[in-house]
């Protein structure tokens, strides 16, 4: 049996680092962002629908999605964002279901699904357990400013656009606090991995 673990957290909380650490120790990691890119490849039904909904200006001359342009349209417009989610999320869910079937066929013990919007989109129900990575607002802001070159106001705006951390924590089976050093994070991930593997093996016939 494959144990399917959702991994989520606020922007710049460190969930991608946690995913890499889990992958380094043998977990199979599926990144929702990669699935999202896959479903909007040139010629895909999703890309065609995005073009009809938001205009051909979001499609590059090469026939690929102009993610930056689309982001400008949907970031500050909730209705537009919901329209985009209605196009993408069902297709991403289908792609993830295929990844789960593949993992089960390969006898993978632990499949980790890294996704920013697991709680918001109701996808919590497609995973067996949910791990939430948290960080203080100060740490998130500093990482965003350093990573993406954002000004403080822009970083805060992106943080404010997400749900409250308490909502994620309330849905979590495990919480990893990422305000310390990388060594601190590695220790937490190591302990988490041991616990997850014990759960996976306990449910294997």
Write down the mean pLDDT value for the chain. 89
Interatomic CA distance for residues 157 and 177, integer angstroms: 22
28-54 pLDDT, tens digit each: 999 999 999 999 999 999 999 999 999
Between 32 and 143, residue with greater pLDDT: 32
150-195 pLDDT, tens digit each: 666 766 777 666 768 888 899 999 999 999 999 999 999 999 999 9
Q: What's the confidence (pLDDT) of residue 103?
A: 96
Between 108 and 117, residue with greater pLDDT: 108
| Residues contacting 171, CB < 8 A, separation 6+ | 119, 124, 130, 132
Residue 117 lies in a domain: yes
The three state secondary structure string of the chain is CCEEEEEEECCCCCHHHHHHHHHHCCCEEEEHHHHHHHHCCCCCHHHHHHHHHHCHHHECCCCCECHHHHHHHHHCCHHHHHHHHHHHHHHHHHHHHHHHHHHHHCCCCEEEEECCCCCCCCHHHHCCEEEEEECCHHHHHHHHHHHHCCCHHHHHHHHHCCCCHHHHHHHCCEEEECCCCHHHHHHHHHHHHHHHHHHHHHCCC
φ and ψ of 194, to 5 deg: -60, -45
| CA diameter of the chain | 53
Quote the number of domains for the chain: 1
Residue 188 lies in a domain: yes
Residue 187 lies in a domain: yes
CATH of the domain at 14: 3.40.50.300
Interatomic CA distance for residues 18 and 13, integer angstroms: 10
- From residue 86, alpha-carbon distances to 2, 73, 105, 139 in Å are 29, 15, 30, 32
Of the candidates 193, 1, 201, 202, the residue with the CA atom closest to the CA atom of residue 100 = 1
Domain housing 127: 3-27+109-202
Q: Residue 146's pLDDT band (boundaries 50, 70, 90)?
A: confident
56-96 pLDDT, tens digit each: 999 999 999 999 899 888 877 889 988 998 999 899 999 99
Residue 127 lies in a domain: yes
Cα Rg, the chain, nearest whole Å:
18
Q: What's the confidence (pLDDT) of residue 155?
A: 67
Q: What's the confidence (pLDDT) of residue 198?
A: 92
55-66 pLDDT, tens digit each: 999 999 999 999
Residue 52 lies in a domain: no
Residue 83 lies in a domain: no
Residue 185 lies in a domain: yes
Q: What's the confidence (pLDDT) of residue 121?
A: 78
Interatomic CA distance for residues 107 and 205, integer angstroms: 12
Segment of 109-113, 134-138, 145-149 carrying the highest mean pLDDT: 109-113
């Amino acid at each position: 049996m494959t144990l399917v673990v959702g991994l989520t957290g606020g922007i710049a909380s460190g969930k991608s680092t946690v995913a890499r650490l889990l992958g380094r120790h043998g977990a199979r990691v599926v990144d929702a962002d990669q699935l999202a890119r896959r479903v909007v490849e040139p010629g895909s039904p999703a890309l065609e629908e995005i073009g009809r909904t938001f205009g051909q200006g979001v499609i590059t001359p090469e026939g690929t999605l102009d993610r930056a342009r689309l982001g400008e349209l949907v970031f500050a417009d909730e209705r537009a964002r919901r329209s985009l989610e209605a196009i993408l999320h069902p297709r991403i869910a289908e792609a993830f279901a295929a990844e789960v079937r593949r993992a089960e066929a390969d006898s993978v013990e632990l499949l980790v699904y890294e996704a920013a919007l697991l709680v918001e989109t109701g996808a919590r129900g497609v995973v067996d357990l949910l791990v939430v990575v948290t960080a203080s607002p100060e740490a998130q802001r500093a990482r965003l400013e350093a990573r993406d070159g954002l000004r403080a106001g822009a970083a805060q705006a992106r943080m404010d656009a997400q749900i409250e951390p308490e909502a994620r924590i309330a849905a979590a089976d495990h919480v990893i606090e990422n305000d310390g050093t990388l060594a601190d994070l590695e220790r937490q991930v190591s302990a988490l991995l041991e616990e997850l593997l014990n759960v996976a093996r306990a449910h294997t016939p």
